[in-house]
Every structure is written in structure tokens, then in C-alpha cells.
Amino acid sequence: MTTFQLPNLSINPKIRLAYIINNKQYTFSFQWLENFCLLSIYIIKDNKKLYLIKGRALTANTDLIARVKDPSLIKGTLTIKNKYAADVEITQNNLHTDFEMEYYDEQ
């Protein structure tokens, strides 16, 4: 398992970050709207953006990449989990303090 910190969207509601997963760089675009966060994930391959997900509402405890059909893009599971195992909603103020992203490689 690999754990990633999430951005502070209360300072900047639209952030683009790069995370390295299995030696590949993925760009994560987080955008906080009024009551939820939209997430897009893409990789650059052959000078083209290939989206794993685009404009998906961010939810905890669901596999964000479950619908990716091309195993050359990514394998495994990627979830947002509450660090304290609490059953609370993701908010603009608690995403970076109470949640983290976990990647499990498919072996």
C-alpha cells in the first residue's frame, strides 16, 4: 500500500498535483465546488492526455479507478479513506486533515 497526502482546498479550491504511482506520473486535478470536490486523473502518453477519470465527484471508500479498462494505464485500487476510520463527509476544510489517498497495487 502507498499513501498520499491530499491538498488543502480551503486555501486554493482548484489544485493540480502530480503523484508517482508504480514509476508513472499521474496528474490529479482537484476542484472544490459549493458542496463537493470534482476529481480528474490523467497520464501523458505519446504526448496525449489519457484520462483515467474525468470530473468525478470525490467520495470516500470507493475505488476511484475501478472502471479503468486499460491495464497499461494503471492496475490496482485507489481510494480516499478517513485517517481515523470516522464516518464523516468530505468537506473543503477536512479533506487534507482527515483523509488520505491509498493505492494498492494489483499483484
Q: Cβ distance 1 to 21 under 8 Å?
A: no
Interval 19-46: pLDDT, tens: 999 999 999 999 999 999 999 999 999 9
Q: Which helix (H) or strand (E) holds 98?
A: helix 95-98
Instruction: Check: CB of residue 77 under 8 Å from CB of residue 63.
Output: yes
Q: How much is the average pLDDT of 57-62?
A: 95
Please tell me the predicted confidence (pLDDT) of residue 107: 58
Note the pLDDT tens digit of each residue in 62-100: 999 999 989 899 999 999 999 998 889 999 999 999 999
Look at the pTM and tell me if it is higher than 0.75. yes
C-alpha cell at 12: 486554493
Classified as helix, coil or strand, 71 is: coil
Q: How many CB atoms are closer than 10 A to CB 10?
A: 14
Grid cell listed for 33:
465546488
Q: Which residues of 68-104 are buried (b: 16+ CB within 10 A; e: fewer)?
A: beeeebbebbbbbebeeeeeeebbbebbbebbbbebe
